[in-house]
Amino acid sequence: MNFAGGEARVAPEHLKEVEAYYRENSELVTSPFAAVAGFRPGLLDGVLKRLGLSVAGLNVLDVGCGRALLRQFVEQKGGAYTGYDLVLDRVQRDGENRFVRGDAHFLPFRSGSFDAVFCLDSFEHYLDGAAVAREFRRILRPDGFVFLSVPNYSNVAGLVKWVSERLGLREKNTWAPFAAWKPQALEHFVTPRYVRSSFEQAGFRHFRRVGYGDEVSIGLFPWLWHPLMPGRLERLARAAFRPFGNAIARAWPGASLHLFWAITA
């Protein structure tokens, strides 16, 4: 493993809040690719193909790896996997030292160590997106790429988040529709503009994104996941919306609650 030397720097004080929160609320550590039902390799494979990406034969760093569900996917494609996470008891351990604990703002790897960085639904929790993007840029080889899965608040869900936090109905950076609107830890207001700005400051210049048709309904009607919404009504509404979700996501990716990005220098 290509370490820069020494141990990974531990998280600064503000990120210890995130570490404690997600240790106590592990059920919230989800993404479209790794929901409660388990990992969804077919979805990830389809998204990567739409973005023109492949991990075959690549050295991949999984930042915010959680339970390392991405590992099998990468290794089955012939890639080499390294997992990196803030929460110690979620980081896997084996005899091959493929897992490292630390803060994404200070990656302990040598420059140019990786062909690809995957960041699945943790970027929204980082205090300084541009600083994290600079670290991604540093450890990537010149022709490497970042694959980013991140919540998107450039839609109605974002309007609810903005109003709720601006009016004091929720503390700043805590509202999200996930887990029946349960308060999150450092859930920043991430939009396409925020993603582009963060990565452009780090020297990235090329961006491709796709939406997620299954979550267009939540992006436009976040009340479907409200705790008072009857489960049967929520399921019926999402089923009725499903035939149109992919078409809407293609025409307006920002309608989706998640966006998937391919980012290169």
Flag whether 1 is in a domain. no
Q: How far apart are the C-alpha atoms of 160 and 150, rounded to whole Å? A: 18
For all residues of the chain together, what is the average pLDDT?
A: 89
Residue 47 belongs to some domain of the structure = yes
Range of the domain at 201: 13-152+186-213+257-264
Q: End-to-end CA distance of the chain: give it in Å, rounded.
A: 24
Measured in degrees and rounded to the nearest 5, phi and psi for residue 209 equal -145, 150
Reading the block at residue 230, the tokens are 């009857």
How many domains does the chain fold into? 1
In a domain, 5, yes or no: no
Sheet holding 99-101, edge to edge: 99-101, 80-85, 59-63, 114-120, 140-151, 258-264, 206-211
**Predicted confidence band of residue 67 (pLDDT cuts 50, 70, 90):** confident
Question: Quick check: is 226 in a domain?
Answer: no
Instruction: Give one DSSP letter per residue of 126-187, joined into a string.
Output: -S-HHHHHHHHHHHEEEEEEEEEEEE--SSHHHHHHHHHHHTTSS-TT---SHHHH---SS-
209 belongs to a structural domain:
yes
Distance CA 131, CA 202 (A): 8
Question: Is 168 inside a domain boundary?
Answer: no
CA distance 39 to 179: 18
**pTM attached to this predicted model:** 0.91
pLDDT of res. 96: 61
Domain membership flag for residue 248: no
Per-residue model confidence as pLDDT tens digits over 23-64: 666 555 568 997 666 789 999 999 999 999 999 999 999 999
Query: Does any domain span residue 104?
Result: yes
Domain with 139 in it: what CATH number?
3.40.50.150
